[in-house]
Amino acid sequence: MATSPNLRAAPAYPLPLARSKGRRPRQPAEDPTPSLFPSVPLQRDTERPALSPPGPAADLVGIARLAAASPLAKSKRGTEYFLLPVRSILNHCDSDRVPFSWTVNPYRGCEFGCRYCYARYTHEYMELDGREFERKIYVKQNAGALAARDLGSEKVWGEHIAIGTATDPYQPAEREFGTTRAILEQMAVREGLSVSITTKSNQVVRDLDVLRRIAERSALFLNITITTLRRRLARLLEPRAPRPDLRLAAVRALAEAGLAVGVFAMPVLPGLTDREADLDTLAREAREAGAQWLGASVLFLMPSAQKQFLPFIEEKFPRLARQYRGWYARSGYAPEEYRRKIDQRIAQLRTKYGLGSRPYEPEGLGWRSPQLPLAWPGNADAAPDAATPTSVSLRSCACVRG
């Protein structure tokens, strides 16, 4: 695999020994269809410039300054790739709607160009139009070295790390730069992590070797997003993403490798991917491929996404244009009644095909020191309640059905 010299990982070092530290208590909002994604992803951006770059960037601040000063690394397929200097790979997530505190997005921007993508707004932080989201991709430099340092920090212990919450970690840029791989290599040398990866790409199977190594020592959950099994519709909605059948094949390969994998039907698009028969087929095919859970959520449209998606609907699906304009004119959410209907439909499909609602329970996440004894010290009378997971491997929480 070809990688940029700027992305070469630093030598690995082991996770420091420390006392057991549990996850901070969380009170997630009620959600009949749990999702790993926040509806509005609130993340503290840790990508700060180390020095003030010269030229036009001097008039900008924060991530916009970094982006303006980032050198062009390559131009290919009508897409420009820039090398983005950052100080951290981990971003803190402030949303109580999701069961994780840390996110990793190896790239800014995503070449798949999904018409509905909510993350287009992240380019606006860099003073770029949301339409540039799939044409200007920013590759985070020194990913391996930064991940090694970040993962050794006590502040992330006991917290789940979600990879790919805004941009796909296995988009085409990964073949060129290997940023995701560099981060995973650092996770593989640690023990007791809790990690999830969400992707639309079958390229994830390239990393089966490192994924197995992570799963041997930590909890690993793999989410393959499949919005529809209809190829022509998928090509319209997600122009450069791999075909749905290739994603299903990736689910099968990951399951056969003994990894915990599920399918995300996200987003469910009103009038396009929400038909009962289509969702039933998707759930059945996912289960047959070895998926352990099925996640789903209805389309959420931030203003930056509306600018791209609503004109697309008017051009390609004019019969739905009025409905979409009416539903999303004042809010990024579809009507509550419709969302409840989809929740019920998905719940019925989970029951029908024996699929879980998500790969884990939030309270089951947490770092456990590998040095803790398997037996409670002292006599049997001093043993804690059986429900207290003092030394239980996180792998035991790989999938919670129901």
Question: 116-127, pLDDT tens digit by residue?
Answer: 998 887 766 676
Higher pLDDT, 153 or 67: 153
Q: What is the pLDDT of residue 110?
A: 92
**Residues 365/28, Cβ–Cβ less than 8 Å:** no
Q: What is the pLDDT of residue 96?
A: 66
Average pLDDT in the 232-257 region? 98
Average pLDDT in the 23-47 region? 41
**Residues 157/102, Cβ–Cβ less than 8 Å:** no
Percent of the chain, pLDDT > 70? 69
CATH of domain 27-369+393-397: 3.20.20.70
Question: How do residues 3-12 score in pLDDT, each as one tens digit?
Answer: 433 333 333 3
Q: What is the pLDDT of residue 228?
A: 98
Confidence of residue 65 (pLDDT cuts 50, 70, 90): low
Q: What is the pLDDT of residue 173?
A: 94
Q: Round the average pLDDT of the chain to a whole number and report it.
A: 78
Whether the per-residue pLDDT at 371 is higher than 50: the answer is no
pTM of the predicted structure, to 2 decimals: 0.76
Q: What is the pLDDT of residue 327?
A: 95
Q: Report how far residue 123's alpha carbon sits from residue 304's, in angstroms, rounded to the nearest whole number.
A: 10
Nearest to 129 by CA among 307, 330, 325: 307
Q: Report how far residue 81's alpha carbon sits from residue 131's, in angstroms, rounded to the nearest whole number.
A: 15
Q: Report how far residue 323's alpha carbon sits from residue 270's, in angstroms, rounded to the nearest whole number.
A: 9
Whether the per-residue pLDDT at 303 is higher than 90: the answer is no
Confidence of residue 169 (pLDDT cuts 50, 70, 90): very high
Residue in the block written with tokens 């992305």: 7
Average pLDDT in the 223-252 region? 98
Q: Report how far residue 91's alpha carbon sits from residue 250's, in angstroms, rounded to the nearest whole number.
A: 28
Q: What is the pLDDT of residue 163?
A: 96
Q: What is the pLDDT of residue 309?
A: 95
Average pLDDT in the 131-137 region? 84
Whether the per-residue pLDDT at 46 is higher than 50: the answer is no
Q: Is the dihedral of CA 308, 311, 315, 318 positive or negative?
A: positive
Of the given ranges (75-79, 106-110, 260-264, 361-365), which has the lowest mean pLDDT? 361-365
Of the given ranges (51-55, 110-114, 236-240, 370-374), which has the lowest mean pLDDT? 370-374
Residue in the block written with tokens 């809790």: 194
- The domain limits of the chain are 27-369+393-397
Whether the per-residue pLDDT at 32 is higher than 60: the answer is no
Q: What is the 3-state secondary structure (H, E, C) of the chain?
A: CCCCHHHCCCCCCCCCCCCCECCCCCCCCCCCCCCCCCCCCCEECCCCCCCCCCHHHHHCCHHHHHHHHCCEEEEECCEEEEEECCCCCEEEECCCCCCCCEEECCEECCCCCCCCCHHHHHHHCCCCCHHHCCCEEEEECCHHHHHHHHHCCHHHCCCCEEECCCCCCCCCHHHHHCHHHHHHHHHHCCCCCEEEEEECCHHHHHHHHHHHHHHHHCEEEEEEECCCCCHHHHHHHCCCCCCHHHHHHHHHHHHHCCCEEEEEEEEECCCCCCCHHHHHHHHHHHHHHCCCEEEEEECCCCHHHHHHHHHHHHHHCHHHHHHHHHHHCCCCCCCHHHHHHHHHHHHHHHHHHCCECECCCHHHCCECCCCCCCCCCCCHHHCCCCCCCCCCCHHHHCCECC
Confidence of residue 362 (pLDDT cuts 50, 70, 90): low
Q: What is the pLDDT of residue 158?
A: 77
Burial degree of 306 (CB within 10 A; 0-12, 13-18, 19+): buried
**Backbone torsions φ then ψ of 163, nearest 5 degrees:** -100, 130
